[in-house]
Copies of this chain bind each other. A is one copy, B any other.
Amino acid sequence: MEKMIGIVLVSHSKKITDGIQELINEMTGNQVKVVSAGGTDDGRLGTSAHLIMEAIHDCSECKRILIFCDMGSSILSSETAIDLLEPELRDKCLIVNAPIVEGAFVAAVQSMVTTDIDNILDEIRNMQNSMPV
């Protein structure tokens, strides 16, 4: 089965992205392609455009690649990574401006029933609207 949607996780903490990946794999029975790209190249707190590029390449067979970031420079590093990609792969990528844990989880579950990006983003919006603080 072709994995249609890929999910790339970018946090300043590798523990956080490893944890989200593990949780998604457990909840979806490993049916969703999800790659952890948190922390620096050597696992410290921070982000790495190089690591994010590798994670995106790891999803190259996917139709679309959704990238979830935690804050600030994780978005900048993801943008840098995307800029450095070959155009064909770059066009598949979308940075989703949503909470990293909850957003990635909703995207993963929803991508099991549809590959329509608008539909997946709608579900993430519904989740966010259910969090009035």
**How many copies, total?**
2
How far apart sit A12 and B121, CA to CA, in the bound complex (Å)? Answer: 23
Whether A89 is near chain B, meaning CB under 8 Å from some CB there, is no
Neighbouring B residues of A1 by C-beta, 8 Å: none
Contact assessment for A133 and B121 in the assembled complex, using a CB-CB cutoff below 8 Å? yes
> With A16-B19, A45-B23 in contact, do A101 and B11 touch (Cβ < 8 Å)?
yes
How far apart sit A125 and B96, CA to CA, in the bound complex (Å)? Answer: 18
Shortest CB distance A91–B (Å): 20
- 17 pairs, A vs B, C-beta closer than 8 Å: A12-B23, A15-B15, A15-B16, A15-B22, A16-B16, A16-B19, A16-B20, A18-B19, A19-B38, A22-B45, A70-B101, A71-B101, A97-B132, A98-B131, A100-B102, A124-B133, A128-B128
